[in-house]
Amino acid sequence: MTAHHDLEKAKEILKIVSTNDWLAHSLGTWQWWLLLVSSIVPWILWWKYADKERGRELIIVGLITMVVTDTLDSLGTFFNLWGYPIKITPVIIQYLPADFAVFPVTFMFLCQFYRKWSTFLAATVVVAAIFSYVLEPLFVYMHTYYYNAPWNHTLSFIGFIITIAMIRLGAYQLLKRLK
């Protein structure tokens, strides 16, 4: 038996266990509904309040955010630094509402409302603090998120600041090249 065959067998077992767990403990729970709503509402808010004149710029920020946060989330869950007991679907390990709705919309609004780097960074620190020290503990309490040592809320706080700043920097560099 090869390592590849063992991996395929383990993936099949994981698929069955994950689906059964999702059906028994996620689907239809109040946490599941909360995740579903938090996947939709940010985009409704963005559609209503986004500066349509800067739509291209903001969409690029949002798309880069999705790629970066999903990649970082994949790495964090792969290395078991954190995880999500309640998921919208059994096949997606990452936190779909955060990676594809809450983070991109929040980061796009940061770029929309705070054009100067100094105010943008100050707002980023506030948003990172809210995500790390308010929302993460709340999600731990609600059993939709957990983290394992050495990960902690302070590492999340630092990670959010660096990630948001790098996304803005990268997006604006890309926009300059596209002009």
Is it the case that residue 39 has pLDDT exceeding 80? yes
Is it the case that residue 11 has pLDDT exceeding 90? no
Average pLDDT, the chain: 94
Is it the case that residue 38 has pLDDT exceeding 80? yes
Question: For the chain, what is the domain count?
Answer: 1
As a whole-number percent, the residues of the chain with pLDDT over 90 amount to 85
Per-residue burial over 135-157, b = 16 or more CB atoms within 10 Å of its CB, e = otherwise: bbeebeeeebbebeeebebeebb
Q: Which helix (H) or strand (E) holds 146?
A: strand 146-147
Which residues, 6 or more positions from 7, have their beta carbon under 8 angstroms from its beta carbon? Answer: none
pLDDT tens by residue, 64-119:
999 999 999 999 999 999 999 998 988 776 678 999 999 999 999 999 999 999 99
Domain range enclosing 129: 3-178
